[in-house]
A = this chain, B = another copy of it.
Amino acid sequence: MSSTVAKALSLLDYFSDSEPEIGLSELARRSGVDKATVHRMLSVMCDHGLLEKRGDARLYRLGAGVLRLARVRETAFPVSAVFQQSLDALSAQIGETAHASLVSGRALATIGVSEASRGSRVSLVAGEILPFHSTASGLAVLAFSRPEVVDRVLAEPLTARTSRTPTDPDVIRARLQEVRLTGYAEADQTNEDDVYGIAMPVFDTDGTPAGAVAVAVPAHRMTNDLRRQIIAALFAESGKLTVGIGGHPSAEFRAAASRFGSA
């Protein structure tokens, strides 16, 4: 839990699209680690190309090493490209912002976004780490994950992102049960105010969720009709994606999908 490399790697989580460059003191403050320690860890990560200091400023940013790593992963197991294509289709069809995330350790990593072209839309801070318990994507993934994964996630302290965020493990377990029956997860302003998200899992080769695709809508604009449209579109795209990455859905999800199809 408190290994040195874990602390070092967790520093990477603070970099996102909204904050691609961060200073030493800022990182120390956020992570709660001593400044000197952070400094040494950042230096090591710079040496390995995971980070780099911008020449002039004294800010750190993600280095060229991550580009190489991503390239290696994408050429061996192309998923990012496959997802982006589906996201573009989704946002075009629905007219709202679509995004995708993959299971990345004990959280979700946003790996693609396709924003709607209309003026008022949900503008995601992309590239962020998403919590499991407060996002539609997280619930969608968790609902079809193995019980021990659920236990591990719910054992950790659950922070309330908004006033509506469920933080009681039992409440969340109940919601997961719903998700298992319907096949999709909804998050009505539980991760961010005014954002209503609907998500569906995408499955890996072993039948466990590899990630999720989701559509995010300004909460006030959500209607029953729009919900139905989104869910139908997600079933289509999630299916394509699961096939696209060589996976196959769990029996539970297939059952939920057929229930929806016959409704």
Contacts and interface: CB of A to CB of B under 8 A. Distances in A.
A66 interface: yes
Contacts of A55: 204-206, 208
Contact of A66 (B13, B20, B69): B69
A133 B112 CA distance: 37
Interface stretch (A1-9, A187-195, A232-240): A1-9
Nearest to A104: B49
A68 interface: yes
Contacts of A110: 68, 71
A136 to B, nearest CB: 18
A108 B80 CA distance: 24
Contacts of A126: 71, 75
Nearest to A210: B64
Interface stretch (A39-47, A160-168, A251-259): A39-47
Contact of A63 (B61, B65, B105): B105
Contact of A47 (B46, B63, B105): B105
Given A64-B111, A65-B109, A109-B65, A72 B4 contact: no
Nearest to A40: B3
Contact of A72 (B20, B45, B65, B71): B20
Given A3-B44, A5-B44, A102 B64 contact: yes
Given A20-B77, A55-B208, A76-B20, A71 B105 contact: no
A59 to B, nearest CB: 11
Nearest to A83: B67
Given A50-B9, A75-B126, A68 B4 contact: no
Among A8, A48, A74, max chain B CB count under 10 A is at: A48
A222 interface: no
B48 A111 contact: no
A110 B67 CA distance: 9
